Each structure stands twice: as C-alpha cells, then as structure tokens.
Amino acid sequence: MGKSIIYSILFLKCPQCREGEFLEAHPYKLSNMNKVKKNCPKCQLKYSIEPSFYTGSMYVSYGVGIAVAVAVYVLTLIFGLDFGPTGILTSIVIALIITMPYIGAVSKSIWAHFFFKYDPNILKKAA
C-alpha cells in the first residue's frame, strides 16, 4: 500500500518506508523539540547523512514560514477581515509563533525527503 509523499511529509514519517516515525517526540513536546531519531524504527534507515545534516532545513523553514504568512494574509482577505496593516502583521506573527514547532518539524521532514528515496518494498525485503 503506497502512501503519498505529502502524507509522509505532513505526518512526519520516514522518507524511505513512509511507515516509521521521523521524530523522537511530537513537535509540540517542547523538551524534545524536533529531535530527529537516529534510525527509522521500521526500516532502520539512518536519518542523518553527516553531522549537522539538518542545518540546511533552516532554509526550508524560511519558505514554509513565508507560506504560512501568505496563507494568513489570504485568509483575512477571504473572510473580509479589515485589521489594517498592523492587525494583519500581528495575526501573521501570532500564527507563526503558534505553528513554529510544526514548521520546524515539517521543514526537517521536507529536507529528509529531498535526500532519501522512497522504497515501497523496503519493509518486505527486510522481513
């Protein structure tokens, strides 16, 4: 049963088997914030190619952050909310603060999905 890459990224799954968990804990568990596991618990994929491999995901989180900001702005337009420039800026900042842990997690997930290829048969091979 193949799972889509969108599912895998949004639900923070292993990029190779799309089954195993990618993070040590939930993104909103702040003590363990966005800690990537060493290996996939299902297919044993090593999640890190080199030390500080996930530093590059910072660039991805920029893009995701901007996407969230644009989404908030578009929503205020759709709902016809007239907050004025300061109000819109405030709502964007609040939205970014609320979604920040998830943005960080998704960015690492996107980053990993760039580098590792999906192998739908990996779990069958290992068995």
**Residues of this chain that bind Zn ion (CB under 5 A):** 14, 16-17, 20, 40, 42-43, 45
Q: What is the DSSP string of 10-75?
A: HTTB-TTTS-SB-BSS-TT-GGGTTPBPSB-TTT--BS-SSTTGGGGHHHHHHHHHHHHHHHHHHH
The nearest distance, CB 47 to Zn ion, in angstroms, is 9
The nearest distance, CB 91 to Zn ion, in angstroms, is 38
Nearer to Zn ion, 26 or 42 (CB): 42
Nearer to Zn ion, 45 or 72 (CB): 45
Nearer to Zn ion, 26 or 37 (CB): 37
The nearest distance, CB 52 to Zn ion, in angstroms, is 22
110 CA to centre of own chain: 6
The nearest distance, CB 105 to Zn ion, in angstroms, is 17
Nearer to Zn ion, 12 or 92 (CB): 12
- State how far the Cα of 73 lies from the Cα of 50, in Å rounded to an integer: 38
Q: Which residues have CB under 8 Å from 58's CB, separation 6+?
A: 107
